[in-house]
Amino acid sequence: MYVMRDDDEDLALAGGTRNPQLVGSAGCNLLSTITGDRYRFHLMRLSQALKEKRPLYAQRHDKVISLHDNARPHVAKPVKTYLETLKWEVLPHPPYSPDIAPSDFHLF
């Protein structure tokens, strides 16, 4: 997971509409392996950043909807438990197969 800096915002998630610029990693070596615990740490930082940067998010109790593939860090027990604690919704992702993979066009 990378922290992206945008012209208008301090924190932009991957897939932003404007040209984000990579400014570095979020507390880990770029060449290190992302484990479930490390990914959970990044989710903790993302949750905190949302509360700080988007105060209305915390006031309205809006839910975050995330699309994860089935990579090991994304489906690790600590990550699943933490996502349940946050009450974030994780959209189901089918096994990768180009001929049966559904389009995610509606998400963007």
| Residues 52, 94: Cα–Cα separation, whole Å | 33
Residue 26 tokens read as 């979020």
Q: What pLDDT is stored for residue 89 in this prediction? A: 87
Q: What's the angle, vertex CA 33, arms to CA 30 and CA 38, rounded to 5?
A: 95
Q: What pLDDT is stored for residue 22 in this prediction? A: 41
Which residue ranges make up each domain of the chain?
36-107
What is the reported pTM?
0.60
The answer to whether the beta carbons of residues 26 and 1 sit under 8 Å apart is yes
The answer to whether the beta carbons of residues 40 and 78 sit under 8 Å apart is yes
Burial 5-19 (b: 16+ CB within 10 A, else e): eeeeeebbeeeeeee
Mean pLDDT (10-residue bins), the chain, 108 residues: 43 44 47 83 88 77 78 90 90 71 63
Q: What pLDDT is stored for residue 82 in this prediction? A: 93
Q: What pLDDT is stored for residue 105 in this prediction? A: 62
CATH number for the 36-107 domain, one of 3.40.50.620, 3.50.30.10, 3.30.420.10, 3.40.50.11900? 3.30.420.10
